[in-house]
């Protein structure tokens, strides 16, 4: 006998509409079917014109596609958000403390709280930056925390993204579109603005300029180029911040510093917000065949002549096996109890866990430790016996490459489908900025699984996006 999981519906409490959704629901009701259809078509056209057709970075999609935009926003009340905000900021502080620690004395390892092997044998642990001090000891300047909700006050962190989390351009563009679609709502409902994000990001980048920087820091965004799936976001952010978007070939190292080629001659660069992976940053330090990076960049970084955001080596904190220890990091470094919960996780590399996972595959979600974007994963309840058996063989071959989690009862948010509004599962990625202060824009990227019953929200697997509103209680 199987029990159907009960999903938390963010809009309805029984038959009653929850306060968060009251205003927006009434507005859409008053609109009438015909006007609504027009609005939807208009929103779609806007999205196409803007050209947000990229797949979220790291999610592999090589062909450009339009990610469905849902006109119905996802809404939190201010008090719900305040708790989330405290939790996300707390986690970002702990992750940065962890990164500084494991590249220095490794106190958390010495104390026995995290196995040394897991950290130091981790592929994402970068020996080349051991002992290096990034500005303000910050490694991850933009932390994207993926959250799901399972109840009125229950939130779980699915994963942390400490390297180059993408999707923030959606947060900004979704809002832009919503403000054009329903200006009346923005006048009457008190919806927290998100448009300060580019300014806060720019401020964060300036705050982490190296000590050698003289005067106003020069920050740039380093992109792998126009063929990258997130190129739109790179150019969008550069434009919004009023800073230069550069490729590796636009930069060069001379003496102690990095310079940018400009029409007015070389200009020194102090901070590089890089949207390329560690392995490609500098052929003299990492992959020698990389044509995307800047030769000597890592030497300048390590000698204190430039700051790289996020700092090389930051990936060791968002590894899926390390993830299970983040609550311990919060306690160890901050002396606080974690505000946000982790999803219970079995590490298949451990004998007991391996046995449990193999016995319970139909009810679990299994992920590759280094995988991302909904590839290389098994969603037990949604898989056939044959698919499960096939995946079991993969796990047996290399158990420590996998972790397993229970299938979470992801909350639903009302979403426009052919038949009208219907509940669809959602997650949330807010973008936390870490500089002299830790800052969180009230909002984020809500991803929605457009297929009925689907729990996979990744854009590469047919997920869509929504605007995320924080409204006054």
Partner 1 sequence: MRLTIDHTTRYLYEQPQRRITQSLRLTPAQLKSQKILSWDISSDGAQIGARFVDGAGDVVLLLTKGTNVESVEIRVQGVVDTTDTAGVLTGLKESIPPLAYLRDTPLTAPSEALRALAADVGAGGHDGALSLAHALAGATRDRVDYVIGATEAGVPAAQVLDLGQGVCQDHAHVLISIARLSGLPARYVTGYLHSDASGEAHEASHAWAELFVEGLGWVGFDPANRCCPDDRYVRIGSGLDALHAAPVRGMSFGAGSETMEYSLTVSLGQSQQ
Place of tokens 């898989």: 383
100 binds partner 1 (CB under 8 A): no
Where does this chain touch partner 1 (CB under 8 A) — which range of 54-62, 85-93, 198-206, 296-304? 296-304
* Residue 138 touching partner 1 (CB under 8 A): no
Q: Which burial class, exposed, middle or buried, applies to 188 when counting CB atoms under 10 A from its CB (0-12, 13-18, 19+)? A: exposed
Contact by Cβ (8 Å): 309, 298: no
Q: How far is the CB of 114 from partner 1 (least distance, A)?
A: 12
Contact, 71 vs 39, CB < 8 A?
yes
Q: Is 187 in the site for partner 1 (CB under 8 A)?
A: no
Of residues 116 and 389, the one with the C-beta less far from partner 1: 116
Q: Using CB under 8 A as the criterion, what x/- string covers residues 433-462 for binding partner 1?
A: ------------------------------
Closest by alpha carbon to 61, among 372, 444, 319? 372
446-451: long-range contacts at Cβ-Cβ below 8 A with a sequence spacing of 24 or more? 446/74, 446/413, 448/70, 448/74, 448/413, 448/415, 448/424, 449/424, 449/425, 450/68, 450/70, 450/415, 450/417, 450/424
- Which residue from 22, 31, 83, 106 is in contact with partner 1, where contact means CB under 8 A? 106
Report the residue from 131, 215, 335, 420 that binds partner 1 according to the rule CB under 8 A. Answer: 131
Q: Does 104 bind partner 1 (CB under 8 A)?
A: yes
- In whole angstroms, the minimum distance from the beta carbon of 260 to partner 1 comes to 14
With CB under 8 A as the rule, give the number of residues binding partner 1.
33
Q: Which of 4-12, 52-60, 119-127, 381-389 is the region at the interface with partner 1 (rule: CB under 8 A)?
A: 119-127
Closer Cβ to partner 1, 251 or 470, answer by number: 251
Token duo for residue 435:
């500089």
Q: Which is nearer to partner 1, 132 or 329 (CB)?
A: 132
166 three-state secondary structure? coil
Give dist(CA 402, CA 376) in Å, integer.
10
Measured between alpha carbons, how far is 375 from 441 in angstroms, rounded to an integer? Answer: 29
Quick check: 371 binds partner 1 (CB under 8 A)? no
Examine residue 11 and tell whether it contacts partner 1 (CB under 8 A).
Answer: no
Contact flag: residue 283 with partner 1 (CB under 8 A): yes
Any contact of residue 379 with partner 1 (CB under 8 A)? no
Q: Does 398 bind partner 1 (CB under 8 A)?
A: no
Near partner 1 by CB under 8 A: residue from 4, 49, 121, 187 = 121
> Under a CB-based contact definition with an 8 Å cutoff, are residues 284 and 298 in contact?
yes
Rounded Cα distance between 102 and 104, Å, is 5
Task: Check binding of 296 to partner 1 (CB under 8 A).
Answer: yes
Residue 109 or 388: which CB sits closer to partner 1? Answer: 109
Among 253, 322, 348, 433, binds partner 1 (CB under 8 A): 253
Give the span between the Cα atoms of 46 and 42, in whole angstroms: 6
Measured CA to CA, the distance from residue 16 to residue 10 in angstroms comes to 11
| Range list of H helices, 242-325 | 297-302, 320-323
Residue 464 touching partner 1 (CB under 8 A): no
Q: Catalog residues that contact partner 1 under the rule CB under 8 A.
A: 103-104, 106, 109, 116-117, 120-121, 123, 125, 127-132, 252-256, 283-285, 288, 295-296, 299-300, 302-305
């Amino acid at each position: 006998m199987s029990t159907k999981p009960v999903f938390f519906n963010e809009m309805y409490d029984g038959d009653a509409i929850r306060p968060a959704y009251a205003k927006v629901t009434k507005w859409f009701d008053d609109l009438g079917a015909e006007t609504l259809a027009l609005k939807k078509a208009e929103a779609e056209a806007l999205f196409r014109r803007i050209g947000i057709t990229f797949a979220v970075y790291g999610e592999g999609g090589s062909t450009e596609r339009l990610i469905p935009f849902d006109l119905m926003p996802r809404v939190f009340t201010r008090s719900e958000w305040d708790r989330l905000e405290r939790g996300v900021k707390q986690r970002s502080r702990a992750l940065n403390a962890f990164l500084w620690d494991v590249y220095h004395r490794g106190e958390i390892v010495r104390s026995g709280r995290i196995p040394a092997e897991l950290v130091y044998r981790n592929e994402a642990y970068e020996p080349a930056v051991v002992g290096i001090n990034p500005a303000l000891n910050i490694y991850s300047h933009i932390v994207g925390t993926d959250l799901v909700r399972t109840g009125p006050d229950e939130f779980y962190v699915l994963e942390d993204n400490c390297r180059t989390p993408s999707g923030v351009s959606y947060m900004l563009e979704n809002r832009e579109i919503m403000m054009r679609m329903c200006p009346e709502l923005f006048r009457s409902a008190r919806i927290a603005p998100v448009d300060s994000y580019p300014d806060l990001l720019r401020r964060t980048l300036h705050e982490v300029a190296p000590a050698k920087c003289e005067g106003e820091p020069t920050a740039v965004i380093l992109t792998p180029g126009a063929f990258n799936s997130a190129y739109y976001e790179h150019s969008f952010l550069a434009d919004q911040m009023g800073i230069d978007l550069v490729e590796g070939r636009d930069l060069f190292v001379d003496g102690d510093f990095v310079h940018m080629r400009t029409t007015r001659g070389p200009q020194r660069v102090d901070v590089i917000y890089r949207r390329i992976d560690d392995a490609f940053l500098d052929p003299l330090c990492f992959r020698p065949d990389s044509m995307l990076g800047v030769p000597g960049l890592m030497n300048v970084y390590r000698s204190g002549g430039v700051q790289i955001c996020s700092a090389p080596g930051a990936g060791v904190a968002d590894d899926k096996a390390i993830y299970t220890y983040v609550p311990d990091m919060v306690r160890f470094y901050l002396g606080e109890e974690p505000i946000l919960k982790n999803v219970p996780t079995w590490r298949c590399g451990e004998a007991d866990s391996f046995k449990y996972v193999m016995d319970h595959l139909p009810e679990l979600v299994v992920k590759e430790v280094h995988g991302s974007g909904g590839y290389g994963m098994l969603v037990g309840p949604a898989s056939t016996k044959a698919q499960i058996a096939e995946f079991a063989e993969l796990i047996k071959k290399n158990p420590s490459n996998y972790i397993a989690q229970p299938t979470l009862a992801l909350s639903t948010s009302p979403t426009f489908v052919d038949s009208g509004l219907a509940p669809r599962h959602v997650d949330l990625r807010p973008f936390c900025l870490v500089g002299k202060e830790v800052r969180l824009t009230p909002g984020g990227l809500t991803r929605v699984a457009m297929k009925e019953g689907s729990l996979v929200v990744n854009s590469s697997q047919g997920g869509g996006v929504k605007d995320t509103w924080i409204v006054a209680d």
